[in-house]
Structures are given as C-alpha cells and as structure tokens.
C-alpha cells in the first residue's frame, strides 16, 4: 500500500502549472451581448506547447487583489485583443471617442503584471500583451505606428473576404539580441506582427531584444530576469508548431511555470510540516 507521503509526491509530480490568461471583453452574437474570452489558438498553445493548465481571468475594475492572485498562479499569459490600452495609463494624448477600449482588462492586467514581476511569476505577453507589460512598468505607447514618419503600416489587412491565413502570415524580419538571439540561435527571424499601436518609450526595467526593419520595438525582456518575463509584438500563439522560435518561447514559458509550481509546492510542504 502506498504511504501518504509517497502518494503526496506522486500527486506533486503529476500536477501541471496553472497559467492565467487575461481575457478580453468581446461583443458576441452580432453585438447583442458581451462575453469575456480569448482565442482558441492562445489556449491551445498554452496546453500543447507550454504543457500547462490554462484558465481565463475576466478583466474587472477594482475587483482583484493583484498580489494575492499572483501568489496563487504559476504563469501569466497576456494575449492580443482588439481594444487598446487607454492612454491615460501612460500620459498619452486622447484617442477618438469610437476607439475600442477595455477598462476592466486594463485595470486587471496592469496591476497583475506589477504583482507578478514583484513575485517572480513568469509572464509571456503577446501583441497587446507586450504593450501592457511596458505600460505597467512605466513605459508609453504610440497610438498609431503607421502615422509616424519612416514607419510601415503594421495593421492587419482589412479587405473583404480576408482569410485567417492571410491575416497571420509571416510579414517581416525582426533583428534579435540578448537572450532572444541565444534562444533562436540566430540574429533574425521572420514574424507575423499585426498591430496599430506600439511601444514608444521603453520602461526602464525592460531590455529591448527584437526590433523590426523600420525600428519598431518587437520584443522585450525584464532586466536581471529571475524567471521568464518576455513580451513579443507578433502573434506567437498562431501555430507555433510551424514557427520554431515562437514554439521555443512557449516551451521556455512552460518550463518557468513548472519551476514556479515546484517552488510554491515546496513552500506549502514546509508550512505543513
């Protein structure tokens, strides 16, 4: 018969990290009601390539204790979203009244990013997610990249009958440096970057590790990172099985989440003794 301690060890070995995915507020059923959600590709990538258990966190204004929530998760995944971070969070100029916004996600994520950084919880930001990470730690954003001199139009194609394959196709190279170059084993990779906004002033605590040909910041990592605190502007969740570098990033995010789980379990075990 298995001992209680042996059973406990087996349970720990079989556990998978819990990854919190920030949900966006979405109009569904032709705008008749709203729901909190994210893309299937994001969930699939966390399950398949990070080997973690995902759960969605609805964005809510003033509803969460960010520090307490961060203490209970093994990773934070920040996916893209249609709404942009509201500019008052980074002292930016006002945007048009019809600009899609998601105040609940802004409040939830910006506070949670700070708490996760403080507690060394792994973070992987994608598209809007890299922008949230930068704003949370004091950086700012350009409202419309394509309106800046010398910048390309990084927005998705909007013509009639556009297919997902066309939307998420590889578009341009990014130049890698630092840990990203080491992970990729290369100084350039092709990415499927789609965005209207982009990083303007980089937060002091981040290092730039990927840049597009027109000088847009496409990848960042926390300086003196104790875990995996990485943001990318491209859609790494889109079929990483066909994009080696994006797959590697998800795998490393998963490894960091497992290390976080082991550390949490060790603390819990020491308290229980």
Which is catalytic among the residues 127, 154, 218, 243?
Answer: 127
* Whether 235 is catalytic: yes
Q: How far from the centroid of its chain's Cα atoms is residue 96's Cα? A: 26
Which is catalytic among the residues 49, 120, 154, 235?
Answer: 235
* Whether 20 is catalytic: no
- Could you tell me the pTM of the whole model? 0.91
Which is catalytic among the residues 132, 209, 218, 237?
Answer: 237
Quote the CA–CA distance of 66 and 56 in Å, as a whole number: 15
CA nearest to 155, candidates 170, 163, 165, 145: 145
CA nearest to 195, candidates 124, 249, 142, 248: 142
Task: Give the contacts of 97 (CB within 8 A, at least 6 positions apart).
Answer: none
pLDDT digit string (tens) for the chain, length 273 residues:
445 555 444 444 579 999 999 999 998 888 899 999 999 999 999 999 999 999 999 999 999 999 999 999 999 999 999 899 999 999 998 888 888 899 999 999 999 999 999 999 999 999 999 999 999 999 999 888 776 777 776 677 776 787 777 777 787 899 999 999 999 999 999 998 877 789 999 999 999 999 999 899 999 999 999 999 999 999 999 999 999 999 999 999 999 999 999 999 999 888 877
* Whether 9 is catalytic: no
Contact 34, 28 (CB under 8 A): yes
200-239: burial string, b at 16+ Cβ within 10 Å, e else: bebbebbbebbbbeeebbbbbbbeebebbbbbbbbbbbbb
């Amino acid at each position: 018969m298995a001992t209680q301690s042996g059973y406990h060890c087996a349970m720990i070995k079989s556990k998978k990290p819990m990854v919190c995915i920030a949900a966006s507020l979405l109009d569904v059923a032709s705008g008749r009601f709203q729901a909190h959600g994210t893309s299937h590709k994001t969930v699939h990538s966390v399950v398949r390539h990070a080997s973690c258990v995902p759960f969605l966190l609805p964005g809510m204004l003033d509803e969460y204790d960010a520090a307490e929530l961060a203490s209970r998760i093994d990773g934070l995944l920040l996916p893209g979203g249609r709404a942009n971070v509201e500019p008052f969070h980074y002292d930016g100029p006002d945007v048009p009244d019809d600009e899609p916004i998601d105040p609940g996600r802004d409040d939830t994520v910006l506070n949670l990013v700070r708490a996760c950084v403080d507690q060394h919880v792994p973070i992987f930001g994608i598209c809007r997610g890299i922008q949230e990470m930068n704003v949370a730690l004091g950086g700012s954003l350009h409202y419309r990249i394509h309106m800046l001199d010398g910048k390309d139009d990084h927005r998705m194609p909007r013509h009639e009958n556009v297919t997902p394959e066309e939307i998420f196709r590889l578009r341009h190279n990014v130049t890698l440096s630092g840990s990203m170059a080491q992970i990729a084993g290369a100084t350039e990779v092709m990415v499927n970057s789609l965005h209207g906004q982009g990083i303007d002033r980089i937060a002091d605590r981040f290092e730039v590790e990927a840049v597009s040909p027109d000088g847009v910041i496409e990848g960042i990592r926390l300086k003196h990172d104790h875990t995996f605190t990485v943001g990318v502007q491209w859609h790494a969740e889109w079929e990483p099985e066909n994009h080696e570098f994006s797959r590697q990033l998800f795998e490393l995010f998963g490894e960091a989440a497992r290390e976080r789980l082991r550390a949490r379990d060790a603390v819990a075990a020491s308290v229980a003794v």
